[in-house]
Amino acid sequence: MRSGGQARASAPTLRYQRRATRQATLHPGAWWLWSLSLGTAATRTTNPLLLALLIATSAYVVATHRPNTPTARSYTAFVKLALAVLVIRLAFAVVLGSPIPGTHVVVTLPEVPLPDWAQGIRLGGRVTAEGLLFALYDGLKLATLLICVGAANALANPTRLLKSLPGALYETGVAVVVALTFAPNLIADVQRLRAARRLRGRPDRGVRGLLQVGLPVLEGALERSVALAAAMDARGYGRTADVPPAVRRTTTALTLGGLLGVCAGTYGLLTAAGGTYGLPLLLAGIVAALAGLRLGGRRCLRTRYRPDRWDARAWLVTGSGVAVAALLTLASAYDPEALHPGVVPLVAPALPLWPAAAVLLGLLPAFVVPAPVPAPFPASKEPS
């Protein structure tokens, strides 16, 4: 049994650890905006060196700042999914061919003759190095986007993200959070069941192991769904407040008008003729939509316990990601050959210097956000 002095000495330590945990916690929306900005930057290039740099940037931040939670451990699953997508893209290029003409034949497969109504599709035939390289660049872009989304799942807690949503989007946010947490919980269940089968000396790999693990996993997912529905019903989910009809009509008008303004303003910015009115209309639409969401939040009766604050670190993290996306978008417009290297003729891609330096701005969260504090372990019991 611990003495009273030791118990009193441990209380300030626990308070310090809790305070350090709150100070190291970043707003989840900032992590999502940072990750999605890196994903947007990945869609602006097919240069494998820049894409590899984006993957390394997100992986370093995840390795240094992800907490010890089931959602954080799902990052490895997203990396495996990205590798599977890359392999499938290359397999399609080998089996179905590539639209890129090439002269460097790697292998010639037996070609299956197809009827006339299937013109433009072939099975087998010549596999060229140019076609494989084009498929590799294209698949690596999608794989990088998936890894960036996995970084957002690893760094941001979906429950805290739901708490930060405005009241008007709360019901939609619950559905999104349930969808986002399904994959991490599924992965955690599979790992737990495979470890239990290994301890019992039963097979956990192959088709047999997958079939015997699949049923308990589905059963656990069903039980979690029922428990979630019961908890939401017990807490009065879906209960709304009575608001005047004028407020409801104003909310609808502002929200619809704002969304239409955003669509029209975006179209104006993308066309040459609408450059003069595009930006003002976009800004007016955003202001109207935000005002509609603010009024719509009055219908939601819920409180927030210790809401996450959007502080200076959140602005820096978001700004670093947005800067990467904006600079790569600018680079793709001014130097498209560097960001989209060709495969005909077959040449090695070069690393453009200032776009690479722009990607390195995404490492800013690793230096401005404190590393997560590990959970305190209970002290060992000592004899009295």
pLDDT digits (tens, 9 = 90+) for 20-43: 445 457 888 889 899 989 998 998
Q: What is the mean pLDDT of residues 39-58?
A: 92
Position with higher pLDDT, 175 vs 315: 315
SS3 at position 349: coil
pLDDT, mean over the chain = 77
pLDDT per residue as tens digits for the range 108-118: 878 777 777 76
Residue 97 CB contacts under 8 Å (≥ 6 apart), including other chains: 122, 125, 126, 127, 131
In the chain, % of residues over pLDDT 70: 72
SS3 at position 276: helix
Amino acid 122: pLDDT: 74
pLDDT per residue as tens digits for the range 72-117: 777 888 899 999 999 999 888 888 877 777 778 888 878 777 777 7
Buried b (16+ CB within 10 A) or exposed e, 55-79: bebbbebbeebbbeeebbbbbebbb
Amino acid 273: pLDDT: 61
Amino acid 120: pLDDT: 65
Q: What is the mean pLDDT of residues 327-332?
A: 89
Amino acid 207: pLDDT: 66
Amino acid 380: pLDDT: 40
Amino acid 303: pLDDT: 64
Res. 381 pLDDT band, cuts 50 70 90: very low
Residue 304 CB contacts under 8 Å (≥ 6 apart), including other chains: 163
pLDDT of 371 over the 80 cut? no
Residue 259: its H or E element: helix 245-270
Q: Please report how many Cα atoms fall inside a 13 Å half-sphere around the Cα of residue 59, on the Cβ side.
A: 12
Amino acid 13: pLDDT: 55
Taking CB atoms within 8 Å and a gap of at least 24, the contacts of 271-278 are: none
Please name the residue that has the structure tokens 């737990």. Answer: 192
pLDDT of 1 over the 50 cut? no
Distance from C-alpha of 204 to C-alpha of 309, rounded to nearest angstrom:
44
The residues spanned by each domain of the chain are 29-240+303-368, 241-299
Amino acid 360: pLDDT: 93
Amino acid 49: pLDDT: 92
Greatest mean pLDDT range, 20-29, 315-324, 369-378: 315-324
Amino acid 384: pLDDT: 38
Taking CB atoms within 8 Å and a gap of at least 24, the contacts of 103-107 are: 103/128, 103/130, 104/128, 104/129, 104/130, 104/346, 105/129, 106/132
Task: Judge contact between 178 and 129, C-beta under 8 A.
Answer: no
Position with higher pLDDT, 290 vs 184: 290
pLDDT of 359 over the 90 cut? yes
Amino acid 364: pLDDT: 92
